[in-house]
């Protein structure tokens, strides 16, 4: 069993010390990473003591150690889930054959591309969120933001390790470039669009951790089914950390919704904004925007790349090994809706080419579960209003539906209707300015901003009044 060695300069459970060349190369990257963290990571409370968890074992269950840490002293390292004995390739043409421990030459470029695209999202989100602590609604939330940030930075380490260990010189160059691109930079932007969007308010942060980190969960899960075993093991451990990020988003939105309902009922005109809250109509617009942006991250509905990756075993379906009996996905089709002359028509496409859509289906079903919980919160509050996910065709910028307009129910509409209704469905400049106007820091232990309800419990069994962030200096 691989335990984590914290006496090393780079904590790891991959026996880094046995490969001096690799160790030296990563020790050279380490100070560059720290420079990146200081200049592009959290810019607020960045040297205060934060109540953070650090991985101490990759075993399921007791892997986390909690304590107050200054973020620059956080022990970022390289942790892979333990090797599964006799693991076989889960899906594709070679399903059932032994997994690969090295990169096969013919898949080198594709695997490198897959890893770089995933890796790029990790530092990007830290950059997007670097000023958010300025307006934290509570110290509890501030601590959660920083926990997410340090773990996304660790995910960068996880991917950089794969690049250094398995892709030689161009892997090292890619690792350097991961520290050079910047979210939203016109000259050197991050690779994917959702990761260049600004994150200036906490409604956006919670939508991001709810919808964008959840996209990450599904991408990582499909890579956890990879024939390339080091990638699978890396992603399996990242997924255990990712669960907390999704919790932050899901419960953060639930708390805003709960508070919104309280303020709606409190106000004589049923206007949550008049009580300094975020009204449900505004929350719905944020959901519409972020859900649509994140659907784009899954790629085109019909994709020959997706088919090739599946065939080769580089990726597979969500829980391919556990959830399916048949792992070839040959001679099967999937029905998609296509727009032809203004009408939606069903077309059957080969299943392998529709693998992005198969993964998107899983994601949508997962998001729908959160909506159900939030609507339960609304029902419990006694309000009749309900929130919903827009249809997958709404407001897409990539794939089959990018060139036409659809309403939130997924029905095709013309450009004039879209222009007339857009402000009812998506955040307007006025909405954004309003939400930003509410963003004032609350740094007193146990206190919450007016627009968000308190969480049901603290972190790691601590009370809400706990000093999750020690700002006393």
Question: Which residues, numbered 435-464, are part of the site for Fe ion (CB under 5 A)?
Answer: none
Give least dist CB 294 to Fe ion, A.
Answer: 13
Nearer to Fe ion, 302 or 359 (CB): 359
Instruction: Output the smallest distance, CB 241 to Fe ion, in A.
Output: 7
Overall size of the chain counted in residues: 473
User: Under a CB-based contact definition with an 8 Å cutoff, are residues 249 and 285 in contact?
Assistant: no
Question: Which is closer to Fe ion, CB of 145 or CB of 358?
Answer: 145
Alpha-carbon span 329 to 230, nearest angstrom: 24
Part in contact with Fe ion (CB under 5 A); list of ranges 31-39, 89-97, 213-221, 331-339: 213-221
In the complex, what is the shortest distance from the CB of residue 208 to Fe ion, in angstroms, rounded to a whole number?
A: 9
Q: How far is the CB of 238 from Fe ion (least distance, A)?
A: 6
Q: Which stretch binds Fe ion (CB under 5 A): 130-138, 154-162, 397-405, 456-464?
A: 154-162
Q: Which of 213, 254, 320, 407 binds Fe ion (CB under 5 A)?
A: 213
Q: Is the Cβ of residue 122 or residue 296 nearer to Fe ion in the bound state?
A: 122
Q: Which residues of 120-154 are buried (b: 16+ CB within 10 A; e: fewer)?
A: bbbbbbbbbbbebbebbbbbbbbbbbbbbbbbbbb
List the interface residues with Fe ion, window 276-295 (CB under 5 A). none
Q: How far is the CB of 125 from Fe ion (least distance, A)?
A: 7
Please tell me whether residue 182 binds Fe ion under the rule CB under 5 A. no
> Within its chain, how far is the Cα of 287 from the centroid?
15
Crossing angle of helices 429-438 and 280-296, in 10° steps, is 110
Stretch that binds Fe ion, among 53-61, 155-163, 280-288, 290-298 (CB under 5 A): 155-163
Q: How far apart are CA 241 and CA 219, in angstroms?
A: 14
Strand partners, 69: 50
Q: What are the tokens at 309? A: 């990756």
We find the least distance from the C-beta atom of residue 100 to Fe ion, in angstroms, to be 24
Nearer to Fe ion, 245 or 317 (CB): 245
Among positions 18-47, residues that touch Fe ion (CB under 5 A) are none
Query: In the complex with Fe ion, which residue's Cβ is closer, 245 or 334?
Result: 245
Backbone angles phi, psi at 347, to 5 degrees: -130, 145
Would you say 148 or 261 has its CB closer to Fe ion? 148
Q: Which of residues 121-150 bind Fe ion (CB under 5 A)?
A: 122
Q: What residues contact residue 229 under an 8 Å CB cut-off, 6+ apart?
A: 83, 87, 99, 100, 101
The least distance separating Fe ion from the CB of residue 54, rounded to whole angstroms, comes to 16
DSSP structure class, residue 288: H
Which residue lies nearer to Fe ion by CB, 112 or 245?
A: 245
Q: Which stretch binds Fe ion (CB under 5 A): 43-51, 115-123, 225-233, 463-471?
A: 115-123
Nearer to Fe ion, 238 or 400 (CB): 238
Q: Tell me the C-alpha distance between 377 and 382, whole Å.
A: 9
Task: State the distance between the two ends of the chain, measured CA to CA, in whole angstroms.
Answer: 42
User: Nearest distance from residue 155's CB to Fe ion, in Å?
Assistant: 4
Rg (CA), the chain: 23
Backbone angles phi, psi at 106, to 5 degrees: -70, -15
Residue 120 engages Fe ion in binding (rule: CB under 5 A):
no
Sign, CA dihedral 99-104-109-115, equals: positive
Instruction: Give the largest Cα separation in the chain, rounded.
Output: 70
For residue 12, what is the DSSP state? Answer: B
- For residue 155, state whether it binds Fe ion (rule: CB under 5 A): yes
**How far, in Å, CA of 130 to CA of 70, rounded?**
16
How many amino acids of this chain bind Fe ion (CB under 5 A)?
6
Could you tell me the smallest distance in angstroms from the CB atom of residue 178 to Fe ion? 13
Instruction: In angstroms, give the least distance from the CB of 212 to Fe ion.
Output: 8
228-247 positions binding Fe ion, by CB under 5 A: 242, 245
**Contacts to Fe ion by CB under 5 A:** 122, 152, 155, 213, 242, 245
């Amino acid at each position: 069993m691989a335990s984590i060695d914290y006496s090393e300069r780079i904590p790891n459970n991959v026996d880094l010390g046995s490969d001096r060349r690799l160790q030296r190369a990563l020790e050279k990257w380490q100070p560059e990473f720290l420079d990146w963290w200081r200049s592009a990571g959290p810019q607020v409370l960045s040297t205060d003591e934060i109540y953070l968890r650090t991985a101490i074992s990759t075993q399921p269950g007791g892997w986390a150690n909690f304590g107050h840490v200054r973020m620059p002293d956080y022990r970022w390292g390289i942790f892979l889930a333990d090797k599964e004995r006799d693991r076989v390739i889960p899906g594709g043409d070679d399903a059932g054959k032994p997994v690969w421990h090295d990169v096969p030459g013919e898949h080198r470029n594709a695997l490198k591309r897959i890893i770089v695209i995933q890796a790029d999202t990790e530092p990007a989100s830290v950059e997007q969120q670097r000023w958010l602590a300025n307006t934290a609604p509570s110290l509890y939330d501030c601590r959660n933001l920083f926990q997410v940030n340090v773990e996304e930075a660790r995910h960068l380490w996880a991917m950089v390790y794969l690049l250094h260990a398995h892709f030689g010189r161009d892997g090292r160059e890619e690792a350097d470039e991961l520290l050079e691109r910047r979210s939203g930079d016109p000259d050197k932007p991050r690779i994917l669009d959702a990761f260049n969007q600004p994150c200036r308010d906490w409604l956006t942060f919670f939508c991001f951790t709810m919808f964008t980190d959840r996209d990450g969960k599904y991408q990582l899960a499909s890579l956890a089914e990879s024939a390339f075993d080091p990638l699978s093991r890396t992603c399996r451990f990242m997924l255990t950390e990712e669960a907390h990020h999704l919790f932050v988003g899901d419960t953060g939105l639930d708390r805003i919704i709960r508070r919104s309902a309280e303020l709606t009922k409190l106000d004589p005109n049923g206007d949550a904004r008049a009580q300094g809250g975020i009204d449900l109509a505004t929350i719905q617009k944020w959901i519409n925007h972020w859900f649509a942006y994140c659907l784009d991250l899954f790629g085109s509905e019909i994709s020959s790349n997706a088919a090739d990756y599946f065939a080769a075993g580089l990726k597979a379906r969500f829980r391919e090994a556990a959830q399916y009996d048949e792992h070839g996905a040959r001679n099967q089709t999937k029905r998609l809706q296509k727009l032809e002359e203004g009408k939606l028509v069903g077309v059957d496409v080969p299943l392998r080419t529709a693998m992005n859509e198969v993964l998107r289906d899983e994601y949508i079903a997962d998001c729908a579960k959160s909506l159900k919980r939030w609507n339960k919160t609304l029902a419990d509050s006694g309000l009749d209003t309900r929130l919903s996910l827009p249809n997958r065709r709404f407001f897409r910028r990539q794939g089959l539906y990018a060139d036409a307009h659809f309403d939130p129910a997924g029905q095709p509409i013309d450009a004039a209707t879209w222009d007339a209704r857009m402000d009812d469905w998506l955040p307007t400049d006025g909405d954004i300015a309003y939400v930003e106007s509410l963003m004032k820091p609350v740094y007193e232990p146990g206190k919450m901003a007016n627009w968000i309800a308190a969480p049901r419990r603290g972190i790691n069994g601590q009370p809400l009044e706990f000093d999750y962030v020690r700002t006393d200096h």
